[in-house]
Structure 1
Amino acid sequence: MTNSRQMPKEEGLDHSLTLLREGYMFLANRRKSFASNIFETRLLGQKAICMGGEEAAKLFYDNDKFIRMGAAPKRLQKTLFGVGGVQGLDEEEHRNRKGMFMSIMTPNHLERLNRLTQKYWDIKSREWEQKDQVVLYDESRELLCKLACEWAGVPLNEGEVKKRTEQLTKLFESASALGPEHWMGRHARKELEDWIGELVEQVRNSELQPPEGTALNSFSFHKDIEGKLLDKEIVAVEVLNIIRPIVAISVYITFTGLAVHQYPENKPRLLIEEEFLQMFVQEVRRFYPFFPATIARVKKDFIWNEFQFEEGTLTLLDLYGTNHDPHLWDNPEIFNPDRFAQWDESPFSFIPQGGGDFNMGHRCAGEWVTIEVMKVSLQYLANKLEYDLPNQDLSYSMVSIPSLPHSKVIMANVKSK
């Protein structure tokens, strides 16, 4: 290959442990030290290209240049995503599966989600009034587990709520873990997939009839590119790819509670300006850590900006760093919802849950779900509830993934307004 230049390169045999030690800042630190939005390193025993910024995101989401098949490490498939899930598919197979997800992201289904979110916040609010104090992260996980299952058409008995909540939490809390915590995540996934798999069989045998248009109903009868029903194991993986991310919104809700507390000057506008709710939610998603990066492999040899990309090379896109890139965001380390008043809605500069096109690309299908749930949750935390935040450690780590305020936001004396 000709007409290429040397990519900045981090020396050393492997930097996987360093990535775990530096967490969200691993990619951003090196982009800064190399004064380059692209560099080469070694991760998981292999060469890896790391990129960040808007132009890099546009490249990363070019389906002619990158594939997802075989990109995610097995440890992520065995905990976070599930084996055979939509995140690891490409081309026609991906379009078929992504269409299955997008079919439940209609205005009517999202409106139903909104109503259910309000329903479960009302229930939780009444429960909290009977307690001296509650932990927002723990309570919101349980709230979202109930919400996710009902929205997805998955029956959930009250007696199993805590069990399923903890299992679903382990899927995203163990994704970057080592040792026993990782193995607990794998065990939780197996139990969850067995549970959903049995429900899929019941649906197909007409023993269970979830509401039409719900994930359990639609996915159970979805056909692949060959016109065949998906294996029940794959349906289980994909139903969990609806439920698990909704439960993970608890991380964002906890940071939303933190932001309401730390930036009280915004509360008057949150009460009277509907559009400001959306701006505030978007700034929470931009400002606080959620996913550090996303991963793919080079589809075929090509040259970009005179840098050589070789087929099969592991490639990481810096999500957190792009959302804090000073070339894209004015004063990115300042929490400022007003920045979204004039935002151009670029799908490549603001990428907390990935970038690119919803329908044809690998942008998270559940991003609308996240925003809808967060907006309702913000209404309660800012406008519909009164509560105190006792002295606690509200700092958060930039190493732990997912990051959370250390106290997980303790609320006391909760009352409905």
Structure 2
Amino acid sequence: MEKGFAAKSGAYLNSSSSLPAVFYLLLPYPKKAMQTIPRDPSLDSTLDVVREGFPFIWNRVRNLHSDIFQIRLMGQRAICLHGPEAAELFYDPAYFVRTGAVPRRVQTTLMGLDAVQTHDGAEHRCRKDAFMALMTPQSRGRLMRLLAREWQAAAEYWAGQEEIVLFDEAQEVLCRAACAWAGVPLPDEDARRRARDFGLMVDAFGGAGPRHWRGKRARTRTEDWMEGLIKQIRKGRLEVAAGSPADVMAGLGDADGELLSARMAAIELINVVRPIVAIATYITFAAVALHEYPAYKGLLRADEEYTEYFVQEVRRDFPFAPFLGARVRQDFTWRGCRFDKGTLVLLDVYGLNHDPRVWPEPNVFWPDRFRHQAISPYNFIPQGGGYYDTGHRCAGEWITIETLKQAVTFLNTGIRYEVPAQDLRYDLTRMPTLPASGFVMRQVRPTGQPAPTAVQTAACPFHH
């Protein structure tokens, strides 16, 4: 028998076959074999996440020699992904949703229950548009001017102190400016307390026990405060500038056009201010970089463009977010691996920023890499990836970069200071993490050169 039915069944018949050809027509069409996703040997990886912290996924990518593997986390199956191609998949809304991916304990501390980060589709688009409307160059410029004023005032205060802890002071500077920009009244006597509460919310996201409880209480206090302001705005008892964050969030509706509850509007207003205060972590790491790599100080003074390279390298090299979560929208196959609807998927953030396949010599602090290497929505994701206008990429990334550039310039040219012996190490098993000392500065002296007010990012490629 000559070669016959093969195009569909994959079976090639020949004269040696002892079965009639019609028999092969009854065979099922062979499916493409599914690849087995490598599995972490631990029965449950929850304690491993706690013990290893930021590099948990990255450690297994190298040990298992795979950019995809599965674990059990808090008793449930989860798939871990690593790399730019995985990031592109992760941020495709056709395959993943954020609903149900953020643990309740993170919502009750870091971002708030039912906040913008937990939604998909029309509801996410509605709220994300409101955040993006606050990110215009004019709006960001106003924030930079307010921050410049606060940095100058802080420098004058620091000059009268024997020593200061930069992390604590930066939180207050950022809180004061962010509230003024947002239209949130903040009496001087309340600024440090409110800044600390914003910081406690951030500190709680990876903590348990007392850290979690402190963050939860701080969120409750802050939501009560902001809800009261929203109610006053809606009743006309508190006037705020048109188009300010407080005005936008007070008038924010859901996807059906219904006004959000005062509590929900307060949560989203907090999600405008809190991330700005959280930039204190990056500012502290930037101060460490200036101290440990002093050769860059001259380059920063001589070349304004270099400041952006320096800031981006701070964001790449120092730890900020360990990984991000989503759930599978519907069954699909990727690289021969099956993803079942509802499965929790974790995308490696820390590891991607330290992968030598993406970043040559990733453990070397080298800002010049950003002069030569193009970045994309999927290969550089310190605050998440994807596109701003169609996905979940952080709307405040522009503000983060511009605030950092301003702070680096201020630390380098706006003040002089001494750095006493201290512990600048940071613990990758702690999420979030920070230099142990918070970066102590002594004998701070203003130079008379103010912090820059006109700070802009380079042209952003992360739009469709």
**AA partner of residue 303 (structure 2):** E
**Residues 174 and 182 in structure 1, CA contact (< 8 A), matched pair in contact too:** yes
SS at match of 1:24: coil
How far residue 198 of structure 1 moved from its aligned partner, in angstroms, is: 0.7
SS at match of 1:337: coil
| Cα distance in 2 for residues equivalent to 1:3 and 1:149 | 56
How far residue 226 of structure 1 moved from its aligned partner, in angstroms, is: 1.0
Residue 338 of structure 1, aligned match among 368, 372, 377: 368
Partner of 2:78: 48
Residue 123 of structure 2, aligned match among 88, 93, 96: 93
**AA partner of residue 370 (structure 1):** T
Tell me if 1:321 matches 2:321.
no
Higher relative contact order (CA 8 A, sep 6+): 1
Partner of 1:152: 182
* TM-score of the pair, normalised by structure 1: 0.98
How far residue 343 of structure 1 moved from its aligned partner, in angstroms, is: 2.7
Partner of 1:36: 66
Deviations 1:367-391 (A, max 9, x none): 0111111111001111221111011
Deviations 1:81-100 (A, max 9, x none): 10010100001111111001
SS at match of 2:381: coil
How far residue 6 of structure 1 moved from its aligned partner, in angstroms, is: 0.2
**Residues 270 and 383 in structure 1, CA contact (< 8 A), matched pair in contact too:** no
| Cα distance in 1 for residues equivalent to 2:370 and 2:77 | 37
| Cα distance in 2 for residues equivalent to 1:45 and 1:152 | 41
**AA partner of residue 55 (structure 1):** E
Partner of 1:134: 164
| Cα distance in 2 for residues equivalent to 1:210 and 1:257 | 35
Partner of 2:39: 9
Tell me if 1:258 matches 2:288.
yes
Q: CA RMSD in A?
A: 1.0
| Cα distance in 2 for residues equivalent to 1:289 and 1:405 | 11
* Runs of 4+ with >3 A deviation: none
Deviations 1:192-234 (A, max 9, x none): 1111011001001111111222111111112222111111111
**Residues 69 and 88 in structure 1, CA contact (< 8 A), matched pair in contact too:** yes
Residue 303 of structure 1, aligned match among 327, 333, 336: 333
| Cα distance in 2 for residues equivalent to 1:183 and 1:13 | 29
Residue 380 of structure 1, aligned match among 410, 417, 420: 410
**Residues 287 and 324 in structure 1, CA contact (< 8 A), matched pair in contact too:** yes
Residue 112 of structure 2, aligned match among 82, 96, 108: 82
Alignment of structure 1 residues 10-409 onto 2, 5 Å: 10-409=40-439
| Cα distance in 1 for residues equivalent to 2:325 and 2:386 | 14
| Worse overlay, 279-288 or 392-401 | 392-401
5+ residue gaps in structure 1? none
| Cα distance in 2 for residues equivalent to 1:111 and 1:3 | 55
How far residue 175 of structure 1 moved from its aligned partner, in angstroms, is: 0.9
How far residue 107 of structure 1 moved from its aligned partner, in angstroms, is: 0.6
| Cα distance in 2 for residues equivalent to 1:342 and 1:54 | 18
**AA partner of residue 249 (structure 2):** F
| Cα distance in 2 for residues equivalent to 1:346 and 1:3 | 33
**AA partner of residue 57 (structure 1):** A
| Cα distance in 2 for residues equivalent to 1:51 and 1:414 | 45
**AA partner of residue 144 (structure 2):** N
How far residue 268 of structure 1 moved from its aligned partner, in angstroms, is: 0.9
SS at match of 1:399: coil
SS at match of 1:131: coil
**AA partner of residue 275 (structure 1):** E
**AA partner of residue 198 (structure 1):** G
Deviations 1:108-139 (A, max 9, x none): 00101111111110011111111111111111
**Residues 58 and 356 in structure 1, CA contact (< 8 A), matched pair in contact too:** yes
SS at match of 1:320: coil
**AA partner of residue 27 (structure 1):** I
How far residue 2 of structure 1 moved from its aligned partner, in angstroms, is: 5.1
5+ residue gaps in structure 2? 1-30, 448-464
How far residue 13 of structure 1 moved from its aligned partner, in angstroms, is: 2.9
| Cα distance in 2 for residues equivalent to 1:319 and 1:153 | 33
**AA partner of residue 344 (structure 2):** L
**AA partner of residue 237 (structure 2):** E
**AA partner of residue 399 (structure 1):** T
Q: Which has the higher helix share?
A: 1
| Cα distance in 2 for residues equivalent to 1:79 and 1:89 | 17
**AA partner of residue 296 (structure 1):** A
| Cα distance in 2 for residues equivalent to 1:387 and 1:318 | 37
